[in-house]
Amino acid sequence: MDCLFCKIIEGSIPSQKVYEDDAVYAFRDINPMAPVHVLLVPKTHIPSMDGVTAENSAAVARIFEAIPKAAAAEGLTNGYRVISNCGDDACQTVKHLHFHLLGGRKLPDRMA
Ligand code: 5GP
Ligand code: ZN
Give me ligand 1 centre to Cα 55, in Å. 26
Candidates 56, 49, 57, 43; CA nearest to 8 is 43
Residue 83 CA to its chain's centroid (Å): 8
DSSP 61-87: HHHHHHHHHHHHHTT-TT--EEE---S
Ligand 1 atom showing the smallest separation from residue 95 Cα: 3
Q: Are 51 and 60 in contact (CB under 8 A)?
A: no
Q: pLDDT per residue over 62-106, tens digit each?
A: 999 999 999 999 999 999 999 999 999 999 999 999 999 999 999
Angle CA 39–73–105, to nearest 5: 70
Determine the Cα–Cα distance for residues 23 and 63; give it in Å rounded to an integer. 8
Catalytic site residue 37? Answer: no
Which residues have CB under 8 Å from 89's CB, separation 6+?
A: none
Report how far ligand 1's centroid is from the alpha carbon of 92 (Å).
Answer: 9
State if residue 27 touches ligand 1 by the CB under 6 angstroms criterion. yes
Q: Residue 91 CA: which ligand 1 atom is closest?
A: 2
Q: How far is the CA of 8 from the centre of ligand 2 (A)?
A: 9
Contact 99/48 with Cβ under 8 angstroms? Answer: no
Domains, the chain, in order of start with CATH, read 4-103 (3.30.428.10)
pLDDT digit string, tens, across residues 32-68: 999 999 999 999 999 999 999 999 999 999 999 999 9
The predicted structure's pLDDT at residue 1: 75
pLDDT at residue 67, rounded to an integer:
98
